[in-house]
A and B are shown apart, each in its own frame.
Chain A
Amino acid sequence: MANVAVPTHEDDILIQELGYDDHFHEHHDEDKYQSGFIGKYIFSMDHKIIAKQFLITGMFWAIIGALMSLVFRLQLGFPEEDMAWLKPILGQWITVNADGIGALDPQFYYALVTMHGTILVFFVLTAGLSGTFSNLLIPLQLGARDMASPMLNMFSYWFFFLSGMIMFFSLFLSTGPFSGGWTAYPPLSALPQASTGSGAGMTLWTLSLVFFVVSVLLGGINYITTVLNLRTKGMSLWRMPLTIWAFFVTAILGLLSFPVLVSAFLLMMCDRGLGTSFYLSEIFIGGEALDHVGGSPVLYQHLFWFLGHPEVYIIILPAMGLVSEVLAVHARKPIFGYKAMVYSILAIGFLAFIVWAHHMFMSGVNPFISNFFVVFTLIIAVPSAVKVFNWITTLYGGNVRFTSACLFGIGFVSLFISGGLTGIFLGNSAIDIQMHDTYFVVAHFHIVMGIAAFFGMFAGIYNWFPKMYGRFMNETLGKIHFWGTMIGAYAIFWPMHYLGMAGVPRRYYRFDSFDTFSHFSTMNQFITVAAIIVFAIQVLFVINFFYSIWYGKKMTTRNPWGANTLEWTTPINAGHGNWPGNIPSVHRWSYDYGKDGKEFIPQHYPMQEGETEVH
C-alpha cells in the first residue's frame, strides 16, 4: 500500500491524474494505528469496520426483538393454547396450572411488548440502520479517508454496545425487564413500586437508553462534521448523493432531539430516586396515598414526543436516502427531481419538530392547541408525497433491473404509501378520538416505519453487500426473501386496520374474554401464523447474509451495479484510508445515468468538452 505501483485500473489512472494528493500515505506508511486483530476488527477506527459492527449488532437485536414478538403473537392468536413448551426458555414467566397447561405471565407479556418496541425502534432501526449506512457511506461517497474523528466514531459503537449489554442484562432480572411500554409514560415508569418491571427493570432501561443517546450523539457530531468539512474537491453540497443528504439531516435531527430525551429521563430519575414530583401527583398505590404532589404526567409526554416524533424520521430518512440511490442506480435513470428531493428532506426534518403533540390528542391537550398540530401534521404529507411521486417517476420508463436491492426499494415505496395514508387519518384529531390506542395505530406505524425502514435497510444491504464484503448475496434467496416479506408483512398488518376501526385496543393481553372482540379470534390467528412465516423468511436472509460473507459469489469488477458514486472507485478490499493513492475529485453530480448516450458517467469523470451539468 505504501509505494503505489503504477495504476492499471482505469479508475485508478483517472484518480491519479485528476485526483487530489492529500499526502495521506506519506504519513502512514504502515497503517500504524490499526495493527493486530484487536485493533483491526474489535476496537477498530475504520469507518467501514464500524459500519459492519453496527450492522451485525443490529441484526442480533432484530432477531431477539422479532422472537419476542412471536411469543406475544402466540398469546394473542392462541390464548387458550398450552405454552408449557416455552418453559425451558422463559422459565418463571410461564405458569403451569394443575392440568399442566402453561400460560404466559401477563406481566411478562407487557415486558415483551415493551422490549420489542424499545429494541426495534432504537437498537435496530436507529443504530442498526443509520449507524451502519452513515458510517459506511458518508466517507466513501464524499471522498474522505475516514470520519472527522475516527476515535469518537469507535466510541459511538462501543457506547451502543454497552447500552445493549445493559438492556440484555435487564431481560434476566427476576422481576423482569421494564414493562410500561416503549414510551415509558409515568407513573408506570416513575414509580419503582408501580409494577414489577418498574423497579430494577426500569432503572436498567433508563441507564441503557442514556448510553444509547451518548452513542447517537457521538455518531451524529461526527457525521455532521464530516459532511460539512471533509468533502473531496468538487463535491459541492448540490452534488452529494441523496443518501448523504438523508444521513446529514438525520444526524441533525438526532442531535437536536435526543438531548431532550435525556432531560426527560433525568427528571424521571429524580422522581424515582429523590422524591421529587415532576411527573407525579396525587397517586394511590395499594390504597395508600404517596407523598408526590404537584407533578404533571403530560409534561413527560411533551418531552418524550419532542424526541419521539423526530425519532420516527430519524428512522425513515436514512431508508429514504438508501432507496433513492438504489432506485436511480437500478432504474438506470437520474433520480427525478433531485432538488425537490433535497428540499423535501429538509422540510420533513423541519416539520418533524413541530408536530409532536399529535401523539397526545387524547392526553388532555387543549383542543385549540391540537388544531395547530393537526395542521402541521397534515402538511408533512406534502413533502412526503413529493418524495413518493419522484420515486415513482424515477422508475417510470426506466430500464429497471429487478435485483433484490431494487425490489426492496420498490417495496419500500409501496409500504410508505400505505402507511403514510393512515397517518393522515390519525393526524385529524377528531378521527383520532376513535383511533387512538387501537390496532389502527399499530398498523400505521408498523407499515410506515417498521416494515418500510426494514425494506430500506434490506435494499441497502443487498446493494452495498459487495462493497462491504467483496462478495454478492445470493439473488434467488434474495427474491424469495423479498416476495415472502412483502406479502407476509401486508398479511400481518393489513388486518390490523380492521381491528383498530372496530375499536380493538393495543397493548391488551387477550381479547377472547371480551364479547365485543371475541369474533376477531380467527383474524388474530391469521396474523400470528403470518408473523411466524415472515420470521422464517428472515431466517433465510440471515443465512444468506452469513453464508455470502464467506462463500458468496466473488466480486470481480469494482463497480458491479454501474453506479456513479465514489464508493465504487475504491479497490474491492479497500484498506483504512479507502483509496490507495490520491483521493478522487468530483466533476459532476451523482445521477448522470443515460446522459449523452452513455449508460452512466461516474462522478470522478471530468466533464467533456461541450457537456453541460444537468442541474
Chain B
Amino acid sequence: MNVAVNHPNSYRNKIHPKKFALWTACISISMMFAAFSSAYIVRMAQGNWLEFPLPNWFYVSTATIILSSLTLHGSYWAFKKMKTGLYRALMLMSFVLGCLFIYFQYLGYHEMTAMGAHLTANPSSSFIFVISWVHIAHLVGGLGVLIVAMLHAFMLEHKVTPARKLRFELTYTYWHFVDILWIYLLLFFILQQQS
C-alpha cells in the first residue's frame, strides 16, 4: 500500500518515516496546547480572574493515565518476549485505564461545578474545562488506536514481525504523548494557580 515507505533508502535515516510523521503530528498538536497556555496566561494577566483549587479527582485521573502508560509499555515488553497472555491482559488494562481517566475527569468537572467554578463562571474555569476537553478528544483518538491494537492482539496469531513491532511502537508513542500532554497541563494549571 505504502509505496515510498518500502523504499530501502528510507532506512538511511535511523528513524522510520511513519514514526517521524507521528512525531511531527505530535508537535503540531502540542502547538494547540501551547496556544491555549499562552491565551490562559495573557487572559489571567488582565485581572478579573476567579481563583479556586483544582479538583482532587484530577490527581486521581493523572495517576490513572500514568499507570496506563506503564501497562502499555509492559504489554509491549510482553509482546516482544512472546508472553501472549500478559501482552493481551496489559493491553486491555491500558484501554480500561484510559476509559477510567475520562470518567475521573468527569468527576473532576462535577467537583469544580460544586465549588462554583462551573463552565461559564469565569474564564479561569472555562479555560480548564475547554482545555481538558480538547485533551480528552485527543485521548479518544488514542483509545481508537488501542482498539485496533487490541483487535490485533486478540485476533491475530502472536508473531513478532517488523511490521507489527512498528505498529505497536506507533501506538505507544501516541499514547505516551497524550499522557505527557496531560501531565504538562496539570503542572501548568498548578503553577499558574501558585503564581
- Chain A residues within CB distance 8 Å of chain B: 20, 22-24, 27-28, 33, 139, 144-152, 217, 220-222, 224-226, 228-233, 255-260, 262-264, 266-267, 270, 274-278, 291, 293-296, 299, 302-303, 306, 576-577
Q: Are A576 and B43 also in contact (CB < 8 A) when A221-B21, A260-B31, A276-B120 are? A: no
A27 to B5, CA, bound (A): 13
Residues of B within 8 A of A28 (CB): 3
A276 to B20, alpha carbons, bound, how many Å?
Answer: 38
Q: Which one of A152, A259, A275, A577 lies within 8 Å of B31 (CB-CB)?
A: A259
Q: How far, in whole Å, are A224 and B15 apart by their CA atoms in the complex?
A: 14
Q: Is the CB of A295 within 8 A of B123?
A: yes
Whether B1 lies near A33 (C-beta < 8 A) is yes
Task: Name the A residues within 8 Å of B36 (CB-CB).
Answer: 263
Assembly CA distance A613 to B20 (angstroms): 31
- Selected from A228, A262, A275, the residue in CB contact (under 8 A) with B119 is A275
Partner of B6, one of A24, A139, A229: A24
Contact status A259-B32, CB under 8 Å = yes
Contact across chains for A150 and B2 when beta carbons are under 8 A apart: yes
CB-CB under 8 A from B119, the residues of chain A are 274-276
In the complex, besides A148-B4, A267-B39, A299-B39, 9 extra interface pairs with C-beta distance below 8 angstroms are A149-B5, A151-B1, A224-B21, A226-B4, A229-B15, A230-B7, A260-B31, A277-B120, A278-B126
> What are 19 residue pairs bridging A and B, where the CB atoms are less than 8 Å apart in the complex?
A20-B9, A23-B6, A145-B7, A147-B4, A150-B2, A150-B4, A224-B21, A225-B24, A228-B20, A229-B10, A230-B7, A230-B17, A255-B31, A260-B35, A263-B134, A275-B119, A294-B122, A296-B46, A299-B43
| A230 in contact with B28 (CB, 8 Å) | no
Task: Give Cα A230 to B16, complex, Å.
Answer: 10
With contact pairs A149-B21, A278-B126 given, residues A299 and B42 touching in the complex (Cβ less than 8 Å): yes
Chain B neighbourhood of A23, CB < 8 A: 6, 8
Given A22-B8, A296-B46, A277–B123 Cβ distance below 8 Å? Answer: yes
Beyond A225-B21, A230-B7, A274-B120, is A259–B126 a contact (Cβ under 8 Å)?
no
A260 CA / B1 CA spacing, docked (Å): 33
3-57 of chain B: CB within 8 A of chain A: 3-10, 13, 15, 17-18, 20-21, 24-25, 27-29, 31-36, 38-39, 42-43, 46, 48
A225 to B25, CA, bound (A): 10
- Closest beta carbon of chain A to B172's beta carbon, Å: 19
A275 to B120, alpha carbons, bound, how many Å?
6
CB distance from B156 to the nearest CB of A (A): 21
Q: How many residues of chain B are within 8 Å of chain A by beta carbon?
A: 42
B166: Cβ under 8 A from any A Cβ: no
Interface of B, helix, strand, loop or mixed by DSSP: helix
A-B pairs, top 7 by smallest CB distance, nearest first, are A263-B35, A260-B35, A259-B31, A276-B126, A259-B32, A229-B17, A225-B21
- The reply to whether A151 and B2 form a contact with Cβ atoms under 8 Å apart is yes
Cβ–Cβ contact A264 & B7, under 8 A? no
In the assembled complex, the CB of B9 is this many whole angstroms from the nearest CB of chain A, namely: 6
B→A interface (CB under 8 Å): 1-10, 13, 15, 17-18, 20-21, 24-25, 27-29, 31-36, 38-39, 42-43, 46, 48, 119-120, 122-123, 126-127, 129-130, 134
Nearest residue in B to A21 (C-beta to C-beta)?
A: B8
Could you tell me if B120 and A144 are in contact, using CB atoms closer than 8 angstroms? no
Q: A263-B39, A277-B123 are in contact. Are A150 and B3 (CB under 8 A)?
A: yes
User: Which chain A residues lie closer than 8 Å to B130 at the CB level?
Assistant: 266-267, 270, 276
Partner of B4, one of A33, A146, A260: A146
Given A263-B32, A276-B120, A299-B43, answer yes or no on A146-B3 (Cβ-Cβ < 8 Å): yes
Residues of chain A within 8 A of B7, CB atoms compared = 22, 24, 144-145, 230
Check A303 against B39 for contact (C-beta < 8 Å).
Answer: yes
Alpha-carbon separation in the docked complex, A264 to B134 (Å): 12
Which residue in chain A gives the minimum CB-CB distance to B11? A229
Q: A181: shortest Cβ distance to chain B, in Å?
A: 21
Question: Is A302 within 8 A of B9, CB to CB?
Answer: no
Q: For the complex, give the distance between the alpha carbons of A293 and B5 in Å.
A: 53
Which residues on B sit within 8 Å (CB–CB) of A278? 39, 43, 123, 126-127
What residues on A are CB-neighbors of B2 within 8 Å? 149-151
Residues of A contacting B33 in the complex (Cβ-Cβ under 8 angstroms): 263
Q: Judge whether B29 and A145 touch: CB under 8 Å.
A: no
- B42 near A302: Cβ-Cβ < 8 Å: yes
In the assembled complex, how far is the CB of residue B37 from the closest CB belonging to chain A, in whole angstroms? 10
Residue among A151, A267, A277, A576 having the largest count of chain B Cβ atoms under 10 Å: A267
Q: For residue A232, which residue of chain B has the nearest CB?
A: B9
A255-B39 CB under 8 A given contacts A230-B7, A260-B32: no
A294 touches B4 (CB 8 A): no
Tell me which residues across on chain B come within 8 A of A291, comparing CB atoms: 120
In the bound complex, do residue B28 and residue A259 qualify as a contact, i.e. CB atoms below 8 Å apart? yes
Which residues of the partner chain B approach A294 to less than 8 Å between Cβ atoms?
48, 122-123
Contact A255 B43, beta carbon cutoff 8 Å? no
- Bound-state CA distance A217–B17 (Å) is 16
Provide the bound-state CA to CA distance between A68 and B193, in Å. 50
Contact call A228/B13, Cβ cutoff below 8 A: yes
Name the residue in A226, A262, A276, A296 with the highest tally of chain B Cβ atoms < 10 Å from its Cβ.
A276
CA distance A217 to B21 in the complex (A): 11
The residue from A139, A146, A217 contacting B25, defined by CB atoms under 8 A apart:
A217
Q: Which residues of A contact B4 (CB under 8 A)?
A: 139, 144-150, 226, 230
Using A222-B21, A276-B123 as known contacts, say yes or no to A22 and B48 having CB atoms under 8 A apart: no
Query: In the complex the two chains form, what is the Cα distance from A24 to B7 in whole Å?
Result: 7
CA distance in complex: A576, B1 (Å)? 12
Contact between B39 and A302, CB atoms less than 8 A apart: yes
Complex interface: chain A residues within 8 A of B3 (CB): 24, 28, 145-146, 150, 576-577
In the bound assembly, the distance between CA atoms of A28 and B4 in angstroms comes to 12
- B20 touching A259, Cβ below 8 Å: no
CA distance A232 to B7 in the complex (A): 10
Residues of B within 8 A of A266 (CB): 130, 134
Among A152, A229, A255, the residue within 8 A (CB) of B28 is A255
What's the Cα separation between A84 and B69 when bound, in Å?
Answer: 66
CB–CB B24/A27 < 8 A: no
Which single residue of chain B is at the shortest CB-CB distance from A577? B3
Residues of chain B contacted by A139 (CB below 8 angstroms): 4
Chain B residues, Cβ within 8 Å of A149: 2, 4-5, 17-18, 21
